[in-house]
Structure 1
Amino acid sequence: MLELALDEEITLRHIQESDAAELFNLTEKSRTELREWLPWVDGTQTRRDSLKFIQHTLDAYNAKRALNCGIIYKGKLCGMIGFNLVDWSNRVGHIGYWLATDMVGRGIMSRAVSGLMHYGFYELDLNRMEIRAAVENRRSRAIPERLGFREEGTIREAEWLYDHFVHHVVYGMLRSEWE
């Protein structure tokens, strides 16, 4: 099981089936804010739905397609981060993340993304990190901008979000730029 201690406050830990209740409670607590940008929220109605998500992520990890970690802040789960997809042929990690509403504004996500990137570049030998965020999602876009990613373009109508399409901004970072 992967466990990365980033500093005295934050650890990234591979999400496990035993985290299902806590993950569901976290989702429930931040449902309104998460739903604005994440298409899976309405499909997460019970602890069992969170368990199915965790089982899916474990299957993807075992197939070497993805890696999903809980963000542990001062000993408590406060969000999720990971490589939603790892493209091994091209050595690209596609990063996704979310944070509980009451934890926003503490620098947690910037530190978590930075730690995941370090792991991806130096432990997994990836060459590129990519983050996509809805054009209007300023909080999510602030993370790659703060970490020095390059804005590489916009994908029009990239995601169906409940009742409308949203455009995505694509950010990229190469290992040579990170070093």
Structure 2
Amino acid sequence: MFLHKINADLSLKLIQLNDADRVFELTEESRSYLREWLPWLDTTTKVKDTKDYIKFCLKGFSENNSLTTVILFKGEIVGVASFNSINWSNKTAYIGYWLGHAYQGNGIMINVVRALTDYAFQELQLNKVEVRAALGNKKSRSIPEKLQYTEEGCIRKAEWLYDHYVDHVVYGVLAEEWTR
């Protein structure tokens, strides 16, 4: 099983079925907050939906093309972070993340994305890591910006959010840039 300690208070653990109740509870607590930028809230209405998502994540992990973790802050699940996909032929990983509303402002996500980026380059020997975020999602965009990822462009109407499309800003960092 994957367990990655970031610091004394913060770890990443491979998501498991027994995490479903807490992940769903966290989703419920932050539903209106998360719904502004995440497209899956209306289809996640019961614990079974979260369990189905976790099964999908575990299948991706077993096939070695993704890694979905729960974020543990002081031993409590506070969010989810993942390599949504890993493209082995191009040696590229795509990071996605969300954090419960009550846990914002603790420096959690910047440390998580930094740790995933380190892991991608040091352990997985990848060449590039990308983060995509909606143009208007300033909090999410601030993470790769603070980590000095390069803004590579904008994908117009990249994602349907309930009743409208949003553009995505693409950020990337290369292994040789990260190690410097």
TM band (smaller chain) = over 0.9
For the pair 1:38 / 2:47, whether they are aligned, the reply is no
In the alignment, the residues of structure 1 paired with residue 170 and residue 34 of structure 2 have an alpha-carbon distance, to the nearest angstrom, of 20
Alpha-carbon distance between aligned partners in 2 of 1:40 and 1:146, rounded to the nearest angstrom: 27
Cα deviation, residue 158, structure 1: 0.4
Alignment coverage as a number of residue pairs: 179
Q: What are the residue-to-residue correspondences of 1:56-95 with 2, within 5 Å?
A: 56-95=56-95
SS in 1 for 2:7: coil
Q: Corresponding residue for 1:122?
A: 122
Unaligned segments of structure 2, at least 5 residues: none
Which amino acid in the other structure matches residue 84 of structure 2? N
Match of 1:151 in 2: 151
Deviation at 1:64, TM superposition (A): 1.2
Q: Alignment partner of 1:20: what SS?
A: helix
CA distance in 2, matches of 1:147, 1:61: 26
Q: Which runs of 4+ in 1 moved over 4 A?
A: none
Look up the equivalent residue of 2:158 and give its one-letter code. Answer: A
**Quick one: which amino acid aligns to residue 15 of structure 1?**
I
Partner of 1:9: 9
Matched position secondary structure for 2:20 = helix
CA distance in 2, matches of 1:113, 1:16: 20
1:160 maps onto 2:160 in alignment: yes
> Which residue of structure 1 lines up, in the alignment, with residue 23 of structure 2?
23
Q: Deviations over 1:5-46 (max 9, x none)?
A: 000010000000000000000000000010100001111100
Shift of the alpha carbon at 1:87? Answer: 0.5
SS at match of 2:115: helix
Q: Percent identity?
A: 46
Residue matched to 2:48: 48
RMSD: 0.5
> How far apart are residue 65 of structure 1 and its match?
1.3
Structure 1 stretches of 5 or more lacking a match?
none
CA–CA separation in structure 2 for the residues paired with 1:43 and 1:4: 30
Instruction: Determine whether 1:107 maps to 2:107.
Output: yes
CA displacement, residues 111-153 of structure 1 (integer Å, 9 cap, x when unaligned): 0001111111111111100000000000000000000000000
The letter for the 2-side match of 1:32 is S
